[in-house]
Structure 1
């Protein structure tokens, strides 16, 4: 005897074999004592079919895997383009002629016809230079000669030097002789050769006051009765 309340080793409180219960069934050939209970399989969801965008991406991936050409060539070939779109070197005929663009071209053409001073203003990237290029493209090269100054940060002497060089002359060394040389060559080009010089100054917001005055003084011709060139 012991002083504990535990049952004797031969007795099973849960109804084991010593308590008169049925003995457990022996495992069959397809059963295993260590095998976990089988769980229900997850539901199978329908797979959506490929849409137009996924089909296009699959075709592009097949082309990419079969072709080792550069990526931009692949894009041009995929969309059927002959050149890279939206470049800066587009021909004037390829530009979108919206109302503001057409108005700017018309005003520049008027300045050239009247041999006047014109200024094209606008936010960065709106197409000021593109409109000027389109207007110049429409001029008759037999009656006009374009003098383009892309960087005005050259001072007063740089403007006169660019004019003389574009008209086929050799710039003088002294400012006192360079200014009359530029003025005379502009007048000669218009009076003797029948071609109107068109001075195009890009990024004109960088011009200093003395540069603006030098351009204005070049238009003072024949006692301020006419101008031998146009400026925009």
Structure 2
């Protein structure tokens, strides 16, 4: 009901927003620049950040920007299944019927990547999400699977992404060989207070409302309460809109923000 009350054509913080309409924060622009560099050089890249900071949505923008006739994008969250499930899924996504033995599976994956890149002129792009939960053995295996011609070339793009602890794990001696192969790395920071204001207005405009619905003190309270994390900003502002509608007010103030924060547990 709050949508029609304020004149929104859709929920302003709908997760299904088109990737071309995402808010371009400084962190967003920087990570896309790093990924564009990785597209040129190929090899390993690392993106870290806290939950809700915008890693996955930015990677979706990058994936959507790739020409499907030149790149084959494969996304794997490490939270689903075992490491062997991942290896088999990797082979299957490359068009192979997965082998059962681990060593045969590795050769199968390597051969499929080489065939895709050398014969079909398509660069495989692997996005491995939630990698902070990957085992030390799995991180070691990645160095083996993605080692081509004694590490002389990179016929692939592989993006590791996860929480900030992932960077700390890669810095350990046991993972140093993988860490040293990173072509680029980036830590995703939350929105600044000014960006929080611009982000909210951006999402409102794309939902069909251009007029201001939030006063300046409320913007400051939203930024302070959420720490600038886009997911939390969206949750909090949505709750603010609901409370403002229930009170039949026209503007979100700091009182509404504090009440909404308590209800949303933020």
TM-score between the two structures when normalised by the length of structure 2:
0.56
Further displaced range: 144-153 or 176-185: 144-153
Cα deviation code 1:118-145 (max 9, x no counterpart): 1111122111111111111111111000
Q: Distance in 1 between matches of 2:29 and 2:83?
A: 32
Aligned partner (choices 73, 80, 86) of residue 159 of structure 1: 86
Matched, 1:94 2:33: no
- The root-mean-square deviation of aligned C-alpha atoms, in Å, is 1.6
Report what 2:172 is aligned to. Answer: none
**Equivalent pairs, count:** 159
Specify which structure has the bigger relative contact order, considering alpha-carbon pairs within 8 angstroms and separated by 6 or more residues: 2
Secondary structure (helix, strand or coil) at the match of 1:112 reads helix
1:160 CA drift (Å)? 1.8
Q: Distance in 2 between matches of 1:205 and 1:163?
A: 19
Report what 1:122 is aligned to. Answer: 49
Aligned partner (choices 96, 108, 131) of residue 58 of structure 2: 131
Q: Is the Cα contact below 8 Å between 2:72 and 2:125 reproduced in 1?
A: yes
Aligned partner (choices 5, 24, 33) of residue 106 of structure 1: 33
Secondary structure (helix, strand or coil) at the match of 1:129 reads helix
Report what 2:4 is aligned to. Answer: 77
Q: Is the Cα contact below 8 Å between 1:153 and 1:207 reproduced in 2?
A: no
Instruction: List alignment gaps of at least 5 residues for structure 1.
Output: 1-73
Secondary structure (helix, strand or coil) at the match of 1:216 reads helix
Structure of larger gyration radius? 1
Matched, 1:230 2:162: no
Secondary structure (helix, strand or coil) at the match of 1:220 reads coil
Report what 2:254 is aligned to. Answer: none
Q: 1:221 to 1:193 in 2, by over 3 A?
A: same
1:225 CA drift (Å)? 0.5
Q: Is the Cα contact below 8 Å between 1:112 and 1:198 reproduced in 2?
A: no
Higher share in strand:
2
Stretches (4+) displaced over 4 A = none
Further displaced range: 153-162 or 214-223: 153-162
Higher share in helix:
2
Q: 1:179 to 1:143 in 2, by over 3 A?
A: same
1:211 CA drift (Å)? 1.0
1:106 CA drift (Å)? 1.4
Secondary structure (helix, strand or coil) at the match of 1:117 reads strand
Report what 1:197 is aligned to. Answer: 124
Q: Distance in 1 between matches of 2:142 and 2:16?
A: 29
Q: Is the Cα contact below 8 Å between 2:78 and 2:134 reproduced in 1?
A: no
Q: Distance in 1 between matches of 2:18 and 2:35?
A: 18
Cα deviation code 1:165-194 (max 9, x no counterpart): 111111011212111101110111111111
